[in-house]
Copies of this chain bind each other. A is one copy, B any other.
Amino acid sequence: MIISKDECLRFFNENQEFLIVSHEHPDGDTLGCAFALCEALRLMGKKRAFLCADEVTKDFSFMTDSFSPDRLSNPVVVCVDVADDALLGPVAEELRGKIDLCIDHHMSNTFYAKSTYLVDRAAACEIIYDLITALPVEVNRYIRNCIYTGISTDTGCFRYQNTTADTFKAAAELTEEGIDAGLINKRMFETKSKSFLQLEMLARETLEYHYDGKCAVITITQDMYKKSGSSEHECHPITALPRQIEGVLVGAVFKENEEGKFSISVRTEEGIDASEICGRLGGGGHKGAAGCRPDCTYEEAKELLLNSVKKSLEGLK
């Protein structure tokens, strides 16, 4: 059932015990939502605890360090920024059928909760902020920092296309009231681990250009994870790199999985359809970003991909 903002507010006002749940591999948005909400509920005199399948990384220690959960006897269960209950990971099983409310911004939400409050905003934290300011709570710096973390991380610090006027308005309000943007931005956007730097160097050494520099390919192997002490979780910025190179229309990153097979992520410039390129190899996705996992060797996969890229580049003329 889809519910309104008023119904959502009533839910928080009327219930007394809350279990707030984030998705697995938690990011700034799901955690910002959860801890801002927990703090607002604490200020309202409610009892609350937090659940997530994975441990929260130390990047978010400013949220967790001062958090002490309440003992709950019979809580309502609220998922934040979770589009599908499969994304809850290992805790999905014990929660199935017991999730009372989901607050989310993904239009792909599968409505697994008894009630869903869904709003199309850049970050789920924008929705939570909007709710908290309508609850009988004095919003404090901790809440603002949580919300800012969600908004800034889900928009690539206001850089992605999902950033709207509402996003900037929320950021203006948070900044006006006082946040630790310097510390948060440094932690979220300006800090690189030594192992990531090492992985990036190894990966960049494999950079190759094809078709007059219109296509760039980078390969990341299991061996590189071992050598660098890094892991697939840190790969994300490398995935974006090939297409960021001047003149490159199609950027592809080959990532070796544990079975020695390669998944390929493709990013393209406007005018070239990444999902078409990956579709020819049995994959799919969006126009600007897509992926595939061809069941063959690295060399075969590369040949298949480059042929597909060639076809799409030819279609440009």
- Interface, chain A (partner B; CB < 8 A): 157-159, 161, 163-166, 168-169, 171-173, 175-176, 181-182, 185, 189-194, 197, 201, 204-205, 207, 213, 240-241, 244-247
| CB-CB under 8 A for A165 and B158, given A194-B246, A244-B190, A245-B194 | no
Q: Which residues of chain B come closer than 8 Å to A189, judged between CB atoms?
A: 159
Q: Which residues of chain B come closer than 8 Å to A197, judged between CB atoms?
A: 204, 207, 245
- Nearest CB in chain B: distance from A287 CB, A: 13
In angstroms, Cα B163 to Cα A189, docked, is 15
A181, A240, A241 pick with most chain B CB within 10 angstroms: A181
The residue of chain B having its C-beta at the shortest distance from the C-beta of A269 within the complex is B186
Contact (Cβ within 8 A) B171 A168: yes
| CB-CB under 8 A for A175 and B181, given A158-B158, A191-B244, A201-B201 | no
Query: Which of B181, B185, B194, B247 interacts with A213 by CB under 8 Å?
Result: B194
Query: Which of B169, B185, B194 interacts with A168 by CB under 8 Å?
Result: B169
Q: Which residues of chain B come closer than 8 Å to A175, judged between CB atoms?
A: 163-165, 168
Contact (Cβ within 8 A) A246 B192: yes
Give this chain's copy count: 2
The residue of chain B having its C-beta at the shortest distance from the C-beta of A186 within the complex is B244
Contact (Cβ within 8 A) B158 A182: no
Query: Which of B173, B194, B245 interacts with A165 by CB under 8 Å?
Result: B173
Provide a sorted-by-A list of 14 A–B residue pairs whose CB atoms are within 8 angstroms.
A157-B157, A159-B189, A164-B175, A165-B172, A165-B176, A168-B169, A169-B172, A190-B244, A191-B246, A192-B244, A193-B245, A193-B246, A194-B246, A197-B245
Q: Which residues of chain B come closer than 8 Å to A172, judged between CB atoms?
A: 165-166, 168-169, 172
Q: Which residues of chain B come closer than 8 Å to A241, judged between CB atoms?
A: 192
- Nearest CB in chain B: distance from A232 CB, A: 18
The residue of chain B having its C-beta at the shortest distance from the C-beta of A209 within the complex is B194
In angstroms, Cα B192 to Cα A244, docked, is 6
The residue of chain B having its C-beta at the shortest distance from the C-beta of A188 within the complex is B159
- Nearest CB in chain B: distance from A78 CB, A: 29
The residue of chain B having its C-beta at the shortest distance from the C-beta of A173 within the complex is B165
| CB-CB under 8 A for A163 and B181, given A168-B172, A197-B204 | yes
Q: Which residues of chain B come closer than 8 Å to A194, judged between CB atoms?
A: 213, 245-247
A164, A165, A240 pick with most chain B CB within 10 angstroms: A165
The residue of chain B having its C-beta at the shortest distance from the C-beta of A197 within the complex is B245
A158, A164, A165, A192 pick with most chain B CB within 10 angstroms: A158
In angstroms, Cα B192 to Cα A36, docked, is 37
The residue of chain B having its C-beta at the shortest distance from the C-beta of A185 within the complex is B159
In angstroms, Cα B166 to Cα A168, docked, is 10
In angstroms, Cα B168 to Cα A197, docked, is 32
- Nearest CB in chain B: distance from A270 CB, A: 9
Contact (Cβ within 8 A) A245 B185: no
Q: Which residues of chain B come closer than 8 Å to A244, judged between CB atoms?
A: 190-192
Contact (Cβ within 8 A) A192 B158: no
In angstroms, Cα B157 to Cα A181, docked, is 13
